[in-house]
C-alpha cells in the first residue's frame, strides 16, 4: 500500500507541475496577444474607421449637394 500512495502522490506532484507550467505559458501568450491587439489591431481599426468616416462624409456632402440642386 505505501507504494501505491507514493505513486499517487508523485503523480499528483507531476500533474501539479505540468498544470503550473501550462498556466504560466498561457499567461505569457495572453499577454503577447493583448500587446499585439493593442499595438497592431486597434490602430488599424481606428485608421480604417476614420477613413470610412471620411468617405461617408464625402458621400453625404455629395448627397446634400444633389438634394439642394434638385429641390429648387
What are the tens digits of pLDDT across the range 23-50? Answer: 999 999 999 999 999 999 999 888 888 8
What's the chain's average pLDDT?
89
Q: What is the mean pLDDT of residues 45-59?
A: 88
What is the Rg, in whole angstroms, of the alpha carbon atoms belonging to the chain?
30
Give pTM, 2 decimals: 0.56
Taking alpha carbons only, the member of 19, 16, 39, 37 closest to residue 27 is: 19
Residue entry with cell 502522490 = 9
Give percent of the chain above pLDDT 90. Answer: 65
| pLDDT given for residue 51 in this prediction | 85
| pLDDT given for residue 4 in this prediction | 62
Amino acid at each position: 500500500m505505501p507504494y501505491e500512495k507514493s505513486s499517487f502522490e508523485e503523480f499528483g506532484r507531476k500533474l501539479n507541475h505540468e498544470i503550473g507550467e501550462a498556466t504560466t505559458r498561457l499567461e505569457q501568450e495572453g499577454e503577447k496577444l493583448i500587446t499585439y491587439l493593442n499595438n497592431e489591431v486597434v490602430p488599424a481599426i481606428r485608421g480604417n474607421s476614420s477613413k470610412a468616416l471620411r468617405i461617408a462624409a464625402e458621400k453625404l456632402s455629395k448627397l446634400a449637394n444633389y438634394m439642394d440642386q434638385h429641390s429648387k
